[in-house]
């Protein structure tokens, strides 16, 4: 048996195994662009190729002559494992890419703190733990705590332990999505402010006594105002009655009783010889008269009073 000389046979493939490229994670609403890259053999004449795209084994694009799959705006349903397949004309040669996981992230929103805002009042020495959560948002979600707008801690829980007055102030948490490593922006959600008021131990009784004292003081003030009002009302009525009596016509004087002395003041004038109209004042004279007593009552001596002008 004779053998021929060995002959080297080289088979040149039509195209290389495709590689699927695209972002592993992107935010909801962003465009998705996947590229199925395969290099044709330079030793073979160029031949048209067909491309197909799959998500979780289901055909989502193709067959088409373009090596790219474009989704204008992705949603949560577009998350999954993608792959592409390249076929020669007629389908004699088929080659598939490795899987590429794509995650569509939902931006964080509606961050809240438990116990809820707007205010929380505790006593000094009490343990306080605050929890931050979001209503929506794809993992991973990171949390940052702010005290009076300064970063103080990280994580969904803020354990303050036994607090003191220095823990008083406003607290907020910031929730953040990391949409991937392809340069997309970071999504943030800021919770409403929580006002934490720390009351020193033993001040509750003081507050109660202060409130009671304030109530008693208010009652005394009310009674004082009431008394002042009543007194003022009485004085006003008396003043009104006095004014009414002053306005009333005086009652006629009673006639003098028997035995009383009637006094009169007489001023005489004397006409001079200088002018018929000129007169001079004379010394005043005081006269009096006694009314005779009746019914046998003895007369009493009375004083004589004179008015001198």
Read off the pLDDT of residues 9-24 as tens digits, 9 standing for 90 and up. Answer: 776 678 889 999 999 9
Confidence of residue 214 (pLDDT cuts 50, 70, 90): low
Tokens of 194: 């929580």
CB atoms within 10 A of CB 192: 13
Q: Distance between CA 46 and CA 274 in Å, rounded?
A: 164
Confidence of residue 232 (pLDDT cuts 50, 70, 90): confident
**pLDDT, position 278:** 42
Contact 163, 124 (CB under 8 A): yes
The full DSSP string for 138-176 is: PSPEEEEEEETTEEEEESSEEEEEE--GGG-EEEEEEEE
Q: Distance between CA 131 and CA 134 in Å, rounded?
A: 10
Find the DSSP H helices in 147-276. 203-247
Confidence of residue 241 (pLDDT cuts 50, 70, 90): confident
**pLDDT, position 42:** 76
The average confidence (pLDDT) of the chain is: 77
Give 161-178 pLDDT, tens digit per residue: 888 898 999 999 999 987
**pLDDT, position 218:** 67
**pLDDT, position 309:** 40
Confidence of residue 81 (pLDDT cuts 50, 70, 90): very high
């Amino acid at each position: 048996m004779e053998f021929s000389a060995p002959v080297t046979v080289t088979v040149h493939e039509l195209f290389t195994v495709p590689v699927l490229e695209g972002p592993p994670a992107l935010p909801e609403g962003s465009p998705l662009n996947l590229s199925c890259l395969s290099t044709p053999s330079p030793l073979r004449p160029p031949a048209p190729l067909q491309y197909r795209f799959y998500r979780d084994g289901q055909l989502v694009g193709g067959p088409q002559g373009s090596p790219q799959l474009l989704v204008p705006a992705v949603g949560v349903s577009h998350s999954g494992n993608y792959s592409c397949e390249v076929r020669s004309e007629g389908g004699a040669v088929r080659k598939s890419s490795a899987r590429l996981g794509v995650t569509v992230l939902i931006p964080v929103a509606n961050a809240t703190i438990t116990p809820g805002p707007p205010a929380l009042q505790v006593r000094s020495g009490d343990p306080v733990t605050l929890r931050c959560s979001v209503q929506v948002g794809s993992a991973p979600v990171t949390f940052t705590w702010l005290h009076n707008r300064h970063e103080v801690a990280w994580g969904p829980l803020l354990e303050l332990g036994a607090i003191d007055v220095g823990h008083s102030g406003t607290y907020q948490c910031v929730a953040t999505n990391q949409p991937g490593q392809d340069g997309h922006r970071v999504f943030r959600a800021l919770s409403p402010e929580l006002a934490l008021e720390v009351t020193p131990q033993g001040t509750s009784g003081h507050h109660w006594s202060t409130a009671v004292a304030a109530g008693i003081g208010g009652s005394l003030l009310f009674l004082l105002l009431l008394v002042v009002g009543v007194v003022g009302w009485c004085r006003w009525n008396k003043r009104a009655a006095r004014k009414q009596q002053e306005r009333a016509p005086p009652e006629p004087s009673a006639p003098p009783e028997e035995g009383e002395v009637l006094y009169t003041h007489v001023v005489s004038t004397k006409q001079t010889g200088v002018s018929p109209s000129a007169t001079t004042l004379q010394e005043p004279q005081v006269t009096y008269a006694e009314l005779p007593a009746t019914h046998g009552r003895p007369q009493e001596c009375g004083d004589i009073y004179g008015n001198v002008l």
